[in-house]
Structure 1
């Protein structure tokens, strides 16, 4: 990060397999859609020599079109890995989607990385920066992950690096604004008639030198006269911020007494503060101009990554247990130690087939190794949704993927990332360990998918492939959840949002050749009796030979919600033989499961068997089952049957400014607000109870209502009576469907 001369590394600078954890840096790029993450990755790859200016991947004389990779990345909704090399350090750049629907890809990038670059656009409004990235920043802060900020789009009209740096200090450094400060200031050319001012260079605050990129190559020169005063003011604040967080307590005394602190000392303290996550530099950047070989600020960013961000060995490792849950010692960061690795992403690559992106935490992974794959589901999805699975599998080929290029590797040491083909049935989140010593890593938290997508096969051919296609989708993407609802007889794919659902449908078609139709998602309704009623079931048939004879009389009364169905034997005098009492109960319960009015299960009633008749020859178990069902249906015809709808407990976390609109919106969904709680960061948690039928699209609507700042969770509370007018519509729809059939 200091005063250093760099030259374009060319083909020799392409990423190579690292042999030591200290020679690896794993960096995730985080930012809102449109902030310029992918463009920055391309600029860093160009500067590091991974691609040439024509956009072609350097590969020892063999080149492949980079344009295709660029096009795919720009439209991608997946985590992308771009490995480059800088000053002998392998840098794994993890480019994450900026759309909220694909937060699972972001979480995978955070799991695989040891540091984060937050990319913000100078053209964004302050609220947009806060809304899109503050939660992720706080998540990184909670685990002490080192972070830096890169400001893009400075050539856009009416943008200001100084203003955006202040916004970042306020949003990201609200506890300590002096922990988020510029490390360089932008040098911009004159603004044109359209208001655009090109970024031509950077002014280093500690070195007090200007790095001019206007010629296409980075050149160093002294600052001009009009640059010196802004440099001095920003430099003083930066030095104070570095010294305030320094582990050397004598520096502040020396600084206050007027001693000149050496640049080397300041850089050393800065790098230590960045590595431990207590200081977060802000850097301006811009892609390379036409004909240039380096983007503005890319050298400084790569220097920050290699010299300021920690190596994998300096970061804490996730806890491990045996597959049975018994604790085990933490993995050792040693290439010679036993293997502990994790599948952070699973994807189907058009060139390499199914590929698993693996982070090796301990030991060394090699092709043809036999490893133990263990997965128990991811936090936030409920262990029951993803069954436990374990198996010994043989590792396929290891490679680096860059666009359409595959570079084979003969090993991957701890701390590095690698793409593995043909890794058995491994899913995202699975742990890889030695076959003789199976381990399971602490799972990483994933948000619950809250948008239901009900699907059905388009044809018989698609029906045969649907189950396998959906299973593979869920295995690849842990933010999808598959539900086969027995009540509504629907196959439901739970997604993060509309874009996520669209991608799921597209993948089913393109990857697995499955055509599906969507249908409205139905919530599981219930029925109950509104008042006491009685019914008589008579099943008497004689058609030659052995006949059927069973008569029973029942009384049905409603019970409190959540009681279920009670069956009571009140027969006196043996009018119904003892062996047929259970038959009547079985018939009643079977009819209750089918419903008595609108085809939904009957709940919360007590059914009392009062009397009946039997025949010594013609009575049977089947006859009394039929009579019990008939009696329940007759009892239902004699009273009003209420439809019950599921009600969810909902917690909505929003900035304070949106509490009013959110509460009004919940009221419009027939919701009842039961309380509010003040949360950190000027946010409020609104607790409410809302019918599930009203919140099927709430994840989409809440995002629109709160400009992407609101989050919510839901849990089943109970079933409650549905308003009469809504219940009547459902009954009418069922009757119409029955008549048409």
Structure 2
């Protein structure tokens, strides 16, 4: 923990850090908005422990944690990346998560694999809505957290202001452990608020000296808040009384209580860092918090484990000698080495060439088929960027990369083949941006299915839809950036070119009034001909009424065996549509008269007559187009409720009501035509500054306004 003597960095470039036991592992996810400095911080920590030689970014923009070609081109992290290092005999698995909302699937995967979280906040840019929501999510499950303030050397940086913002946004239990000292355009060092010593980095090495008297007032203010926060979380109930009575509490007691409070998730230390090459400050202090304050995997609760048929499994603990239980948290496809799975081991020990059972994850609705299959795994490695460093085993609590798991997908469970188990999957957000695509050529079409299967295996936030009604292939994505990356992967990684097309929303048709029609199918072609005449009455039903067929034939004018044929023909015409090619719904068709021939009448003749009768009836009255209407629930901060409700009105939506949810948030319920919300995932994010979310479900069909119906009739395809 802070201000204890450390043995310095351990680990060496090119050698994979390893752990022999769970209590020597720390799994830490770095969380923060795009541009907050997470990847730069990871590089600085790797360099501080001797894992890499710090040289900054190379000419093509590659960093040790960037491994995707898109990341290199766009200069931003869009994937979960693992960066293992060793400090004071403890293996630290740093999980660098994306900071952009479109890639929240990888972010949640990182939190699933971690036992604690570092929330990275830029001193120059503050805190965004996504970071705030993730803090609340971590708090709800009791995940230990710390705050790292980066870029304290920035000209806009104000340490006091950003600490106040963190305390306001993140709530109680947030307090700094160190006070940064800046000057001459850089960071000189840190003042330890418990030891009241200045750790001077001005010479490159850390020297411990007395702080300047000018900082006395600031030290006293922060130190008092820090000590009070630690004591409030202490298990020693006498400590607060002793402190308030004026007793000087021993620093070792405070540090011990601080470590316990951080591990429990009750206290959240704030650390200031500068990770710029040549001016690195605060790495040792941060590593001490990670190794001494954050819990080991043995102290963090495991996810729920069941048998593959959902029955409760026997208790599973973080024991290297226990039954194998591991989870695939990330899947990537490398064009040279094939599929690589990033795996968190919860119990047991994973070794190369083991035969494991792969259990599916229950997301068949997204194109991820359930499966239960035995597979032999390939080599184990400890990845660092694009480098795969071989390792001989992965014990409970550790994370590794596994090669040759050809059937495993993100979210799948690996367990003993003789005792298959299933880890309860983590919550994945629904992809709500539909993007319709088509292959550019026949050659691309032939390769598209296999390429999409690989993308689905890698990304559980992607949902594929082959819409039989609109005859479109639709990728349901998290946002525009997510869609761009998927299409880029199809092109650059899998060699498949696709193009976007306008999304077609499945409409319906119905009749606007009661009407009658006759179907006359009389043909003589030599030999057996066709003879079928039927008279029908058609009337609209209320919305959601479906289809009714009524038989009112008397006297056998239509033989009993041909009455189902008339209904079959009517249904076939309803599927084909009456005006714009959309299925017909909500009608009642009554067959009340007809004629037949003893020789030329047949099943097919009466099917055709039924079709003709419905078409003639429809020609006499207006045919209405119906559009799908969704029930939409939108969760936004109170400040954005007005903008959201105004926007819904502009989309022909009907607001049903609002209700408060927690503190400072409101749930808005509305009914909105589906045509108006195809891009709502993007628009809501803009309106709510990234803090809003919504859920949609089909409600019913309603008549489409005439001006929009005329447009669609003119161009039905």
Residues 325-372 of structure 1 show CA distances to partners (whole Å, capped at 9, x for unaligned) of 111123121101110000011112355431111000000011111111
Which residue in 2 is equivalent to 1:333? 318
Which residue in 2 is equivalent to 1:513? 495
1:464 pairs, out of 446, 459, 462, with 446
Shift of 1:76: 3.0
Which residue in 1 is equivalent to 2:591? 609
Note if 1:138 corresponds to 2:123.
no
Residues 397-441 of structure 1 show CA distances to partners (whole Å, capped at 9, x for unaligned) of 110111232211111001000101111211111011110111111
Note if 1:238 corresponds to 2:232.
no
Shift of 1:282: 0.5
1:717 pairs, out of 685, 691, 699, with 699
Larger mean Cα displacement after TM superposition, 560-569 or 252-261: 252-261
Shift of 1:214: 1.9
Measured in 2, the distance between the counterparts of 1:4 and 1:420 equals 37
Cα distance change on mapping 1:67 and 1:150 into 2, 3 Å: closer
SS at structure 2 position matched to 1:35: coil
2:243 pairs, out of 230, 255, 269, with 255
Query: Is the Cα contact below 8 Å between 1:671 and 1:690 reproduced in 2?
Result: yes
Query: Is the Cα contact below 8 Å between 1:216 and 1:289 reproduced in 2?
Result: no
Shift of 1:223: 1.0
Measured in 2, the distance between the counterparts of 1:10 and 1:109 equals 23
Residues 621-677 of structure 1 show CA distances to partners (whole Å, capped at 9, x for unaligned) of 111111111111111111111111000111111111111111110000000000001
2:527 pairs, out of 530, 533, 545, with 545
Note if 1:375 corresponds to 2:341.
no
Cα distance change on mapping 1:430 and 1:625 into 2, 3 Å: same
Which residue in 2 is equivalent to 1:160? 158
Shift of 1:513: 1.4
Query: Is the Cα contact below 8 Å between 1:451 and 1:696 reproduced in 2?
Result: yes
SS at structure 2 position matched to 1:76: coil
Which residue in 1 is equivalent to 2:107? 106
Note if 1:473 corresponds to 2:458.
no
2:643 pairs, out of 648, 661, 684, with 661
Note if 1:189 corresponds to 2:183.
yes
- Normalization by structure 1: what TM-score? 0.93
Which residue in 2 is equivalent to 1:729? 711
Which residue in 1 is equivalent to 2:195? 207
Measured in 2, the distance between the counterparts of 1:265 and 1:468 equals 60
Query: Is the Cα contact below 8 Å between 1:14 and 1:85 reproduced in 2?
Result: no
Cα distance change on mapping 1:351 and 1:92 into 2, 3 Å: farther
Cα distance change on mapping 1:445 and 1:41 into 2, 3 Å: same
Give the 5 Å matches for 1:301-320. 301-320=286-305
Which residue in 2 is equivalent to 1:285? 273
Query: Is the Cα contact below 8 Å between 2:66 and 2:77 reproduced in 1?
Result: no
Listed as ranges, the gaps of 5+ residues in structure 2 are none
Note if 1:27 corresponds to 2:28.
yes
Query: Is the Cα contact below 8 Å between 1:377 and 1:429 reproduced in 2?
Result: no
Residues 413-471 of structure 1 show CA distances to partners (whole Å, capped at 9, x for unaligned) of 01000101111211111011110111111111011000001011111111111112112
Note if 1:220 corresponds to 2:208.
yes
Query: Is the Cα contact below 8 Å between 2:11 and 2:87 reproduced in 1?
Result: no
Which residue in 1 is equivalent to 2:42? 41
SS at structure 2 position matched to 1:598: coil
Measured in 2, the distance between the counterparts of 1:220 and 1:42 equals 25
Query: Is the Cα contact below 8 Å between 1:672 and 1:688 reproduced in 2?
Result: yes
Shift of 1:70: 10
Give the 5 Å matches for 1:124-135. 124-125=125-126, 129-135=127-133
Larger mean Cα displacement after TM superposition, 65-74 or 109-118: 65-74
Give the 5 Å matches for 1:520-559. 520-559=502-541
Which residue in 1 is equivalent to 2:122? 121
Cα distance change on mapping 1:151 and 1:70 into 2, 3 Å: farther
Give the 5 Å matches for 1:438-453. 438-453=420-435
Measured in 2, the distance between the counterparts of 1:450 and 1:70 equals 24
Which residue in 2 is equivalent to 1:423? 405
Shift of 1:130: 4.8
SS at structure 2 position matched to 1:11: coil
Query: Is the Cα contact below 8 Å between 1:18 and 1:24 reproduced in 2?
Result: yes
Measured in 2, the distance between the counterparts of 1:297 and 1:65 equals 21
Which residue in 2 is equivalent to 1:269? 257
Listed as ranges, the gaps of 5+ residues in structure 1 are 58-63, 191-196
Alignment size in residue pairs: 710
- Normalization by structure 2: what TM-score? 0.96
Measured in 1, the distance between the counterparts of 2:377 and 2:135 equals 35
